[in-house]
Structure 1
Amino acid sequence: MALPLWKVKRELKRLVFQLQDLPRRLRQLPGQLRHDKTLAEYDANFDQATRLIPGAALPGPKVALLVIYQPRGLPASIFHTIEYLTRHGYAVLAVLNTPLPEGDLARLTALCWQVLERPNFGYDFGGYRDGLRILNRQGVTPDRLIIMNDSVWFPFQGDPLAQMEAALEAEGLDGLGLNQDQKLRRDASGAESFETRQLESYFFLFSGAAARSEAFQAFWQGYRMSSDKSYTIKHGEVGFSTCLMERGLRLKGMIRRQEFLQAMEEAGVEDLRLALDYAVYADEHHARDGAALLAGYDGSPDWRAQALAHVKAVALRRPFNVGFPLAADRLFGTAYVKKNSQAFFHRMRMQILRGIDSGLIAPPPPDLLSEFRAMVEDYERNPPANAERTL
């Protein structure tokens, strides 16, 4: 039986990407061959390579492990996050993947329970691994455990942690994330279904039982952290959730693609027009299609059907909350915003700011809004030369 055309196209794109990525993989090969030795040496010299600093905050039954990478010093949003976690009863273990000026370090230790300084080895998952190593050494077994990094403004608006803790209890879940990846799958007959995949790795909330589980502990004891970004995404971000779900732990994201698309199916035509008006595109042909739909808006059933097909096509290819920030805000709220330096994410932040200024999106606290606005304006003046995906 002949393969469907969409599957042939998908495999060709995958082959092209692999060929384009081959030079990078060849450059990284020597480091990968040395990896086991490098990791063994790091672990053997862990106490010499790291520094654990006691903070002023008291320990408690809930712990938040926050990995920080801020080579230019700590922005206000870091303190906003720590103070928010503390108000919810979390003792914060901050893991620094880069040195900080003494003034910033003093402010940090005044708010945190402990601060771990470490080399930037293994990206965020390396920081997660080492932070959990400290907790295990100290015999800390929290009733709730948050693992997160500083690649998001959190919380951007509302009280998402209260919602997540309530959902953890009410639904009998083992873990929650802010966003959970889902992929659309088609069987041989063409029938569609969603495959639920990993929690995005910038925020996890776990029950105490989940954090103590054999699956959780086995993953981290066996995790071979690496400073290869593609390895970290595959074996860290994707591998972590996959390991837990395959061993029976119940994980869920507060926002998911399937729920978004179902809501769009039920949306009124004016809501769809607004979704497109505030849309963000990473693909030129989608941008052209969206502009044409807006220019031809007439409120008709035919326009609505075309707009729905367009939203689905874009949302299945790209992160839906980035592509349609106003529509996602109306459905889920905007609990967080990514700080990713890619232009796609920058345009999303511009649209969120536009929505705030027009009164369609609730603003974050004033200090956070000032930082957010400044980042948007600075990006416009000085777009980064090498904008990479962040974890």
Structure 2
Amino acid sequence: MRRIEFDYRLSKQRKYIELRMIPTWKIKRELARLQVQVYGLFGYLTDPYRRRKHKVWRTNELKAYEGRISESAKIALLLIYQPKLIPESLLQSIKHLVQNGYSPLVISNTPLSSSDTKLLLENCWRLVFRPNFGYDFGGYQDGVWLLNQLGIQPTTLLIQNDSVWHPIFDGSTMLEQMEASPADFVGTQIFERISTKPLTPELMFMGSYCFMIKEKAYESEAFQSFWINYRATSNKEKTLRRGERAFSRKLMDAGITFKGIFAASDYFAMIDGLSDTQVEIGIEYLICTNPELVVRRDSLKVADIDADWYIEARRLLKDMCKKKNFIGASPVLAINHMDFPMIKKNNERHYKLARAAILRAAQNNDIRPLRSEILDELRKRDV
């Protein structure tokens, strides 16, 4: 069997060039990381005081404004940070929740204009304003605290933030799939560490941008104690460790049943089932930042297409997923063939490239029809 030949010497040359001429985006990335580390040292000293201050504020001053939507057994805790105007996509996201039977509890990490406040109150169950402290898990903690203060025990609690566009196309059934799952802790996306060993809680966690807690999990000691004891921080890395990863471990270790609707294993199975034409589309819009994988992708784009080409293309599509989150590495395939109904707003270069690929695919009719407000906001996002 003929194998596609890649010039790995070119890869070495590129690495050498990168050492001599480091791309601007890499310099900016490393400076941003340094800034986070410096801020983390400052936060180490100030976070305990800010937590105490915030707890006093929450007890004495947190106010939930009553919206037009009535209370139901299904609550959607939606955390938002919109220092400018409320975008149309966010309004449609809230309406999507209501259409699926949820009572939206919107928690804003920033003040809003009177017109935007009125707009949200017309479309939500409760609206809360809080100081911008603690990232998403700080807001989630206040939301769970409020539900307990109100004596509300939802049969289903959806927790989501506005770091994603959702839904990006009409007819999304993701919420229905999450509700239909027999698991009590359901994530939109489960991150599985690639391992030859059986998957264990230590090797996986749920993405914190959207997950669902069923009644049994909500009432569990593991869930409630996590939020009571959670130490909010405005250090992003600590929030990921203490929040996203520790939360998943807490529930999984407690024996709460869990499931991720979208997983890397599902992506691999999807790649195996693609037609030849779909594989070609996948390579065309594949996002690579790893130098060696860039060489492999670019070599495929100029190579003659035959049976060996498709074997190598499928291998590359899978290898890229092992390096980066598949929703950022193969966004077009994830949307087209996994019905993934979200696009990340993350400002990392990888996700910016993914959004550009989605727009290019939309222009070429290589992606399913996306909602008009999503396309409009995508075009304006990275200008």
Shared fold (TM-score, shorter chain, > 0.5): yes
The aligned residue for residue 315 of structure 1 is 321
* 1:40 and 2:52 matched: yes
Q: Deviations over 1:336-362 (max 9, x none)?
A: 111112221122112212222322322
Most deviating of 348-357 and 146-155: 348-357
* Percent identity (aligned): 29
Are residues 76 and 321 of structure 1, via their aligned partners in 2, closer, same or farther at CA, if it must alter by over 3 Å?
same
Change (3 A) 1:137 1:344: same
1:165 aligns with: 176
Q: Where in structure 2 are the equivalents of 1:1-391 lying within 5 Å?
A: 24-25=36-37, 27-48=39-60, 50-160=62-172, 162-169=173-180, 171-186=181-196, 197-300=204-307, 302-375=308-381, 379-380=382-383
Question: Structure 1 stretches of 5 or more lacking a match?
Answer: 1-16, 188-192, 381-391
Shift of 1:313: 2.0
Change in Cα spacing, 1:164 to 1:86, as seen in structure 2 (3 Å) is: closer
TM-score, normalising length from structure 1?
Answer: 0.84
Deviation of 1:27 after TM superposition, in Å, equals 4.9
CA pair 21-113 structure 1, distance change in 2 beyond 3 A: closer
The answer on whether the counterparts of 2:43 and 2:234 sit within 8 Å (CA) in structure 1 is: no
Contact 1:269–1:299 (CA under 8 A) maintained in structure 2: no
CA distances 1:78-109 after superposition (whole Å, capped 9, x unpaired): 10011111111111111010111111111111
Give the SS at the match of 2:189: strand
Is the 1:96–1:116 Cα contact (8 Å) retained in structure 2?
Answer: yes
Cα distance in 1 for residues equivalent to 2:343 and 2:113: 26
Q: Which has the higher contact order (CA 8 A, sep 6+)?
A: 2
In 2, are the aligned partners of 1:168 and 1:174 still within 8 Å (CA)?
Answer: no
Q: Which SS does the other structure have where 1:36 is aligned?
A: helix
Name the count of aligned residue pairs. 352
| 267-276 or 207-216, which deviates more | 267-276
- Rate the CA distance shift 1:28–1:372 in 2: closer, same or farther, 3 A: closer
Q: Separation in 2 of the partners of 1:207 and 1:197?
A: 20
The Cα of 1:263 is off from its aligned counterpart by 2.6
CA RMSD between the two structures: 2.3
| One-letter code aligned to 1:65 | L
Return the letter of the residue paired with 1:221. I
